[in-house]
Structure 1
């Protein structure tokens, strides 16, 4: 039986799903999209007996990044991983939508820029990077093949898909990303989205509007 664990915590005003991924045998963790309440996430890691080793970002919108500074107060050397095409979103408050929170907004510079199809191992967990433009230019999903788990960010939701009316959004791109890169995964793949409930690829092939849309 696998000792892989994934814990979901909805943080911030709009309930962004932050995921804590770890192997019980290693006691190290990866945080995905710490959008708020970084201190709470750190304390939660301690409760699970794990130490965060990396922050993975599916994309750069404010509700997925605003908790990073709090995490880094506890772990200043923690590395941030993001898609290589997401630099503009992360570094421009007018694009990552943080400018509306007063001051000059919020920016993040990743330590590691990930390429489409790249495979990376952190905390003993093997990830495959899938570039899924549409919600943002550099949106990525993280596939954990051994566990048949997909972290889909704001690209694919339960019976829905990410918004494309924000800066750098593109509806035709997100539809193409979902159809060509996500719907080809095994149907029993568990999908953990940036908001809302978990789903599966098989379920979305039947009920998602992208699967039903014939355009």
Structure 2
């Protein structure tokens, strides 16, 4: 698997480069800042970007979407309820994602999970197709956006947030 976590933007958002070692296909998840660093990392990994995925629409996860899309000429994918749910106008998705959608990255299937509560249209992405996780207690990889944090949960006090939905999504 190709996996790189970058801490980007003024709020220190986790941006991920994730994909297949076999095909070098990758996705960029939540490019919220430092586009040049993201682009350089992809090039160093010899990755072939196929899409940008967003876990939700807040600015700290989306501010460098346009630069990444233009540089690599790739599609944008996220949930329609996240469209314009942040503080500025967003680009419409090339593919609107819903619960159960699968993004194929080489041999890896990345499953879409709707996880509302932090903000409208929040998504998580999960895969158990990663060789590094097969047959051990981990079982897969989950990209959570702002649903959960190390030792904490995401906020639900933003516009469109709902604490009850957040708790249900975590369960």
Given the two structures, how large is their TM-score scaled by the length of structure 1? 0.72
Q: Does 1:16 align with 2:8?
A: no
Q: Which protein shows a greater Rg?
A: 1
Partner residue in 1 for 2:137: none
Q: Does 1:109 align with 2:92?
A: yes
Residues 197-208 of structure 1 correspond to what in structure 2 (within 5 A)? none
SS at match of 2:83: helix
Partner residue in 1 for 2:117: 134
Q: Does 1:51 align with 2:36?
A: no
Partner residue in 2 for 1:40: 37
> 1:57–1:25: structure 2 CA closer, same or farther, 3 Å change rule?
same
Please say if residues 19 and 33 of structure 1, whose CA atoms lie closer than 8 Å, have aligned partners that are also in contact: yes
Please say if residues 22 and 106 of structure 2, whose CA atoms lie closer than 8 Å, have aligned partners that are also in contact: no
Q: Across the two proteins, how many residue pairs are aligned to each other? A: 162
TM-aligned CA deviation for residue 106 of structure 1: 4.0
What are the Cα deviations for residues 88-113 of structure 1, in whole angstroms up to 9, with x where unaligned? Answer: 41xxxxxx12xxxxxxx442211111
Please say if residues 28 and 50 of structure 1, whose CA atoms lie closer than 8 Å, have aligned partners that are also in contact: yes
Q: Output the CA distance in 2 between the equivalents of 1:43 and 1:24.
A: 18
- In structure 2, stretches of 5+ residues that fail to align are 131-139
Partner residue in 2 for 1:87: 83
Q: Output the CA distance in 1 between the equivalents of 2:97 and 2:81.
A: 9
What are the Cα deviations for residues 194-214 of structure 1, in whole angstroms up to 9, with x where unaligned? Answer: xxxxxxxxxxxxxxxxxxxxx
Instruction: Report the aligned-residue RMSD.
Output: 1.4
